[in-house]
Structure 1
Amino acid sequence: MIRYFRRLSFGKKILSSYILFISISCLLVFIYYIKSMEVVKQENYNNMFQLGEQISLNTDILVSNMDRIRFIHLIDDKIKPVIRSENKNKEIDQILEGQEYIERAIKHMANMNQFILRVTIVNEYGDIYSNVSTEQEEYLNRLAPVVESQDWTDKNKVYYTGVNTEKISQNPYKIVTSISKMYDIDRTCIGTIYIDLNYTQISNLFNHLFQRKEMKTAFLVLDAQEELMYASPNIREGFWEQMDRDERETLYKACQDEEVLGGKKHITLILDGEKCSVTAEVNSITNWKVVVFTPLHAVYADGIRNMIGILTAMAVVLSLAIALGIILSRQISRPVTILAKAMAGADKGNVELIQEEPYFWQDEMGQLMHSYNEMGQRINESIEKIYVYQLNQKQTELKMLQFQINPHFLYNTLNTISSIAALEDIEEIVQISDSLSSMFQYNIKGSDIVPVSHEIQHVKNYLNIHTIRFPEKYQFHYEIQPEAMQCYMLKFLIQPLVENSLQHAFTKLKDKNQISLHIFLSGESDIYIEIWDNGVGIREEDVEILNSELSGMDTRTLVSNVDRGIGLRNVNARIRNFYGKAYGLQIESIEGKYTAIRLKISRMDTPG
């Protein structure tokens, strides 16, 4: 460590000292911040648990006033005889009188509780008494399986359903139904009582409680079947429905953890895509589960707000310290940096002299820079002499090259021959001269990226010359997709392969010596080009070796390093260098029948 510090520059040594000081300060601030965050989180957890207890307490108040209705047969001596007797054994007057009395008593007690919409009593004989005259057969049939599935061993048991929609007095209401058994003094069951609670009033009670909370805490209320009954207003719509099965299972397990329910601990769950701190509470009367959660980012945001003052002051101090360190390091290290940069340029052959006047350094560094400038001036003079000598040599070589045959001269000469042949009416010379002239023009003009149509015309000019040289010896076919003609491709890819076929495929001539050129688009990304001939073909083992060599050719292969006598390798190297290793040549051949060379290149709709 000490050796590394000694190798540092002056500026870096000073900055390192400041960085060490700043790092220690930041570490202390970070430790203080962590401690503060723990305090904020603990306060948040306490608030969440208190909120859960408050919701459970309000639920107790909600259902506590219902006990008078449940024990109405014990409070009012006139009601029990009516309930314990069967209507079919009574006179009509007795039935109407009993129903009217019970209805009036129930209505009186129900009006004292704003949450109760309807009370229905069904005695052991199936007779129905209610404070609301509505059709209840479907309602009771829906609840019958629920009643039968419960264990009523506990005489004090009260069962609460989830949220359902019922018509009461021809109006639809969302209700939560309380179901309990009615017992006589001798503990004999004499019927079942159903109390329908107004879910809208329950929601308003919870909403009022939520509005008093300032944090971004949210809570859910789950019924006895662990289905959602209520979600606080700050929970987005569809949150519960979009929870997957694993998330719900994790939430249910949390609601069953005794330490979580007892307020001894909280857990972290991912709810609605966010990490949240979660506590739970179970109401002992309704068995409703209250899940309270706060996104961790909201908890951290509160902690950060508490730290803003300290962090702001710390940032100002650190900024001043950094600025001071930079100024001091520049004053000491700047002349060394300038000299080192100039010397680095000298290593690359570019000796740049330092302007001494702007700096006014009169110390040892100023003397060192002056000595460097004198040395650099001498080096520059030597470099200039060598450069002039090499330039003269290049100019001499260029003069020698100018004596060689220029392709432009040959191109112009062919045009002259074509003109003379046209005047003499020798059509074959005109055609062969024009084709060869076009080929030279294609070679010496334009960029390396050309339209596919130009490359095809170049091939046709080449084959036109062979048609004139060897009349009726070859048959050439073209099958080209019109859309492909408008695309662009690398120059000189097809003609070398056609030339390769003419030179090697027809060593033994057939009655019909055919060469076909097929070009088509593959999807929106690739172009396929196939040169097919019916020549002598290639042995199977040679095809495998050649394909293996072509597919294994490196994308960095230089064309100048490829044997120019083998057109396949040359074209393949150019394709892979330009388009990438996913493209190139592939050969298919059957000895004595045919050879097909397939090119795959990337589609280019513009020359850029």
Structure 2
Amino acid sequence: MKTHFFSYRTQIFIASLLLLIIPSTILGITAANQTASTVKEDFSQTMETILTQTDLTLNTLLNDATKIADMHILNNDIRKALITDYDNNLLAYSQDSSMFTKQLIQTNRLNSNVISCLFRSRYDYTFEYNILNAQTHKEILEKMNSWEEKALTSNYHTYFAPIQDSFISGKKILPMVKILYDGYTFKEIGSCYVGIDFSSVETIFNSAKTPGSVIMIFNSHNTLAYCSDSKYINSESSQILFDELSKFSKNIPENDPIQTQTISVGKENYLVNGCLNQTTGWHIVQCLNNKNITQAYQHNLLNYSAIFVFTLLLGLILALFLSRSLTHSITLLCQQMDSQDLNSYKEISVDGKTSNRELQKLVTSFNHLNKRLTESLRQNYTSRLSEQNMYIQMLQTQINHHFLYNTLNSIKSIADIHNEPEIKTIASCMSELLRYNLKKVPVVYLEEEIQQIYRYLTILDIRFPSKFTFDCSIPDDFYSLEIPAFLLQPLVENSVEHGFAQMETDCRINLSANLEDGILHFFLIDNGSGIKPERLKEILYSLENEKSHIENMQQNHHFIGLLNVHQRIQSYYGKKYGLSIESVVEEGTIVDIQIPYMKKPELPNI
């Protein structure tokens, strides 16, 4: 996309969009994704920690319960009581019951995890601990009938029944039923029920419970033994999720400590962790609704979207204000450019409207260009005007050049017949002067210009015998140089007319040339009356200030030759060249004509 076709306002907005808004938004979304991933990992690690702690705590409870159930192996009195038939000796049964109770109390003194226990011998005699009433005793025995059958087919002949509610203590109880075998004969001698306090495990669940999470325990037959949130088993809408969790529990491998999986039910996603308790064969499953993570991600995304919109509006406002200041200044600049008059130079300015440094450079560059263009136009105009005035003056005296040529030739023939050499010479010189003036060639050789001076002075010498002395000391090597026409002859004529106007004799003119640093200097020196200081100051000011050139050329006819030559030199070669004048009253004048060496004069193209 080529942005240079757009306005500054659009370019600034696009730049802010590409460089600030979009990258910050992408970084924000990336950060939100990373945050969501981190939260998900943290949840997963937390769930794994909960499962691990649950598994360890459950093993601790089961070890405590196993110690109670294995008392018959360590205590001979308890073993004897379990294998004794008290049918005809109820007193012994009563004594053994008291002994049993004391042993259980002593064994369970430091074990608060076992709430109650009940031993049933092979002869259906029972020995109990912490069973407060006959109703509870009866309920336990009824349940033990079915639990014992399951224990016979379970690992270690131990069965863990689903979690029960204790109406007396108000606690959750994990029932354990174990078939007892004689340590000597390895024959079945009874069964043992242990009521384990499940609150320590439940405390772990509750302390780490998060919204949308649930912990379930499936027994070795993959039947739900415990659920931390009843709505997952009582609600019809959760039945599909429960079925999926049941499948997940059934497929937990025995050798993998923790199994992780994502389950999708409808539009909801659930993060599920599970592990196998090796002691009970239970599957502990924890499920977390990903809605919490999704909501956190959506919340972050909404925040970043709001930041994006705010940044977008801020970038738009910034682009409007910045471009308004810039475009307003450019508009003012264009108006001033369009209103510029090329006939007179005037600087433009946008001061106070902008602090843009580049725009100020543009204004400065335009002012420089405008100044050079105005000066160049003025120089060209002045040069053209000078040449035009010169040609007009020549044309005013031209009348008819064929008539003048024929007339001068007739004069020369008559002078020859009557033996008048001076008249013949004047006629010849005038004819050549006229021919040179009418050539209309802007560039001539230096030799032609010097010959023109000699013709002019020859006529003057005939008019004023022995008044003028002309000395030309220019090396012959310079004669082939190309210079502007009428470069030297008007200055010689100016010396004659103004410098020697009050002198009758001993009028000396010297013309020399000197090459210095690539600049060719022609020195025209006369011993005339000189120029008065105030007049010289006026002339020098006219040479340095172009605006006064035309006025001086029109008002000061006496110095038109100096101004004309100076202007044409600068038009051809540039500002560093031209005339320098030094003069002393009653002593003479030195005119230094400076042009570049070996450079052909050319007028600038406008």
Larger gyration radius, structure 1 or structure 2: 2
- Report the TM range for the smaller structure's normalisation: 0.3 to 0.5
TM-score, normalised to structure 1, is 0.45
